[in-house]
């Protein structure tokens, strides 16, 4: 399984910056998990191929690229872009984003080939298929109802928490998963911003270490969703934990998992 965290910004020489403002993970150039920077940073191949977008929740850094992606493709789409999300998230998108005030209501629009956008809802705990992937959405613990995912292509299986604080429902299912290839888990804030992390339901290196006590598999752990303003501090504090197999997921790099 190929997995790539798309860049959020580019430096003056047009190289991807390591600062991750937005969340968008593309699997096999075909399925997007969250759409933060999808329109802005996807490759031509990804723009041509990605028609399924699986959302963890509706926070801006996870959906910012979704309206723009459909806008870019509007007249070229021969099939709708399918947004997979919980009913709660779909309600938020329809009420607060695709409402004509913020952006067009693409779910009601069609080009010469047909509808340009469709929703497919999923329930937390119930697995579903997207293209060649089997996806199990699991409840995590964020400020709003949010899904983590176990993603399998039949050979590799990746668990991804997305935005979260301390989790209960996530770990038992992850620990039961056979031959987990990798864990992706967030660490948004440094230890000294524990109060802010608690209010906003995010992790710090200290609370991440407590979470990883619940994790039983022996596989690489990739850290995602570090707030750019605190990136250096968070990385230094993560290094002090000396957790085996733990590394920062590099922005833009294509991982073969
Ligand atoms: Zn969030």
Whether the predicted pLDDT of 14 surpasses 90: no
CATH topology of domain 2-256: Metallo-beta-lactamase; Chain A (3.60.15)
pLDDT tens column, 158-198? 999 989 999 988 999 999 999 999 999 999 999 999 999 99
What pLDDT band is residue 244 in, cutting at 50, 70 and 90?
very high
Output the CA 57–ligand 1 centroid distance in Å. Answer: 7
pLDDT tens column, 200-238? 999 999 999 999 999 999 999 999 999 999 999 999 999
69-86 mean pLDDT: 97
* Rounded Cα distance, 204 and 235, in Å: 11
Output the CA 64–ligand 1 centroid distance in Å. Answer: 12
Output the CA 198–ligand 1 centroid distance in Å. Answer: 13
131-137 mean pLDDT: 98
Output the CA 76–ligand 1 centroid distance in Å. Answer: 31
* Model confidence pTM above 0.95: yes
Backbone angles phi, psi at 165, to 5 degrees: -110, -150
Output the CA 13–ligand 1 centroid distance in Å. Answer: 30
Domain ranges of the chain: 2-256
Output the CA 78–ligand 1 centroid distance in Å. Answer: 32
CB-based contacts of 125: which residues, under 8 Å, 6+ apart?
Answer: 136, 137, 138, 139, 169
Amino acid 142: pLDDT: 94
Output the CA 22–ligand 1 centroid distance in Å. Answer: 10
Radius of gyration of the chain (CA): 18
Q: Across all residues in the chain, what is the average pLDDT?
A: 96
Amino acid 22: pLDDT: 97
């Amino acid at each position: 399984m190929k997995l790539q965290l798309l860049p959020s910004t580019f430096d003056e020489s047009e190289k991807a910056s390591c600062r991750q403002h937005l969340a968008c993970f593309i699997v096999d150039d075909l399925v997007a998990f969250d759409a933060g920077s999808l329109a802005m940073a996807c490759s031509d191949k990804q723009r041509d191929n990605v028609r399924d977008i699986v959302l963890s929740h509706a926070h801006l850094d996870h959906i910012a690229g979704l309206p723009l992606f459909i806008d870019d493709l509007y007249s070229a789409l021969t099939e709708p872009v399918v947004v997979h999300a919980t009913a709660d998230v779909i309600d938020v998108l329809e009420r607060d984003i695709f409402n004509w005030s913020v952006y067009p209501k693409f779910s009601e629009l069609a080009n010469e080939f047909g509808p340009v956008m469709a929703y497919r809802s999923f329930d937390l705990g119930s697995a579903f298929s997207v293209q060649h992937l089997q996806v199990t959405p699991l409840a995590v613990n964020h400020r709003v109802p949010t899904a983590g995912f176990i993603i399998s292509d039949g050979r590799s299986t990746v668990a991804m928490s997305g935005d979260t604080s301390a989790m209960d429902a996530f770990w038992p299912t992850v620990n039961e998963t056979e031959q987990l290839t990798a864990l992706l888990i967030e660490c948004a804030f440094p230890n000294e911003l524990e109060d802010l992390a608690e209010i906003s339901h995010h992790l710090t290196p200290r609370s991440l270490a407590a979470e990883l006590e619940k994790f039983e598999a022996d596989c690489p752990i990739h850290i995602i969703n570090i707030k750019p303003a605190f990136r250096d501090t968070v990385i230094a504090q993560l290094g002090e934990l000396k957790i085996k197999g733990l590394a920062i997921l590099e922005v833009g790099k294509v991982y073969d998992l």
